[in-house]
Structure 1
Amino acid sequence: MSKSVKVLIIFMSTIIIALAAGLYFFFSKGANEVDTEPTADEIVESSVEIPEITTNLLNGDFVRIAFMIQTDSKKAKEELEKRNFQVKNVIIKNLSSLEAKDLEGNEGKVQLEKKLKESLNQYIENGEIVQVYITSSIVQ
């Protein structure tokens, strides 16, 4: 075998080994990064409590309601706390377009949580709102 053939074989072998190692690390990294649900402590650390709000509904009834809003990071939590007045404004506006029957049962509350999440995410610049939880609710 000539010297140039040996050099070519060594060069090609090196490239194949490097490629195999790169593929191994690429795919093994993805397998190890499994999305895990946040712990209760992590949820509390990234959540903002909205104390009870009392407001009129569309049909003349009123609601007393409180929320816990979970963000994806402490930075988003801090921003949400600073925007507290906007959060309350969005909640009141959304509630004022509902009737008492809209808040009845599980489905109505889930729809309100989703709507508030979408509305509030428009204000957040550093992160996002993961979930809105109703923590108390009285409709009269």
Structure 2
Amino acid sequence: MKNNKLLMIMLIMLVAITLVGAVALVVVLKFTGAEEHKEPTIDEVLEASVDIPQITTNLASNDYIRISFKIQTDSKEAKEELEKRDFQVKNIIILELSEKKAEDLQGKEALLKFEEELKVKINEIMQEGEVVKVYIIEPLLQ
């Protein structure tokens, strides 16, 4: 009878310790590093974005394109660097477009792929931050 009582007390203590540990774990995860990644507000996006004015250039297929971009960076410092590197960015865009044919820039998937290619190329020259997204603003293919 004493063994049953002792066993019951040990079992209750074990369950209580387990519950306290579980609650402590949940509290620690909630209030420390398990923060959710918040998307930036539109104002934050605009503060960290650079406009690339309209560029007109030839394509590999002897067509030409008139296109402009908005490039979103991850910080104001990166934006400032990108503004200083605008001539390099324009050069990258022109070189990349010179390799494209008109059909390479038609359709949603093609434009998204081109945006990603530009993002990768521009990030190669960045030192203070990185490009988060490249947006094609005004494409006119002729």
TM-score range, shorter chain: 0.7 to 0.9
Q: How high is the TM-score relative to the length of structure 1?
A: 0.80
Q: Which digits, 9 at most, give the CA deviation of each residue in 1:30-64, with x for residues without a partner?
A: 23x21100000000000000010000000100000
- Match 1:45 to one of 44, 47, 68: 47
Task: Please list, as runs of the form range in 1=range in 2, the aligned pairs for 1:4-23 lying within 5 A after superposition.
Answer: none
Output one character per residue of 1:6-27: Cα deviation in whole Å (capped at 9) or x when no partner.
xxxxxxxxxxxxxx8x978853
Indicate the residue corresponding to 1:10 in structure 2: none
Measured in 2, the distance between the counterparts of 1:26 and 1:93 equals 51
Percent identical residues: 52
> In the alignment, what sits opposite 1:136?
138
Structure 2 CA distance, aligned partners of 1:44 and 1:85?
21
Q: Does residue 33 of structure 2 align to residue 30 of structure 1?
A: yes
Aligned length: 119
2-structure distance, mates of 1:25, 1:87: 47
Moved over 2 A (4+): 22-28
Letter in 2 for 1:67: F
Any gaps of 5 or more consecutive residues in structure 1? Answer: 1-19
RMSD: 1.6
How many angstroms apart in 2 are the aligned matches of 1:48 and 1:25? 41
Task: Please point out which of 57, 60, 69 is paired with 2:71.
Answer: 69
Q: How does 1:88-127 map to 2 (within 5 A)?
A: 88-127=90-129
Q: Distance in 1 between matches of 2:89 and 2:141?
A: 20
Q: What's the TM-score once normalised by structure 2's chain length?
A: 0.79
CA deviation digits over 1:78-137, x for unaligned, max 9? 000000000000000000000000110101100110000000000110110000000010
Following the alignment from structure 1 to structure 2, what is the Cα–Cα distance between the partners of residues 34 and 112?
A: 30
CA distance in structure 2 between the aligned counterparts of 1:138 and 1:24, rounded to whole angstroms: 53
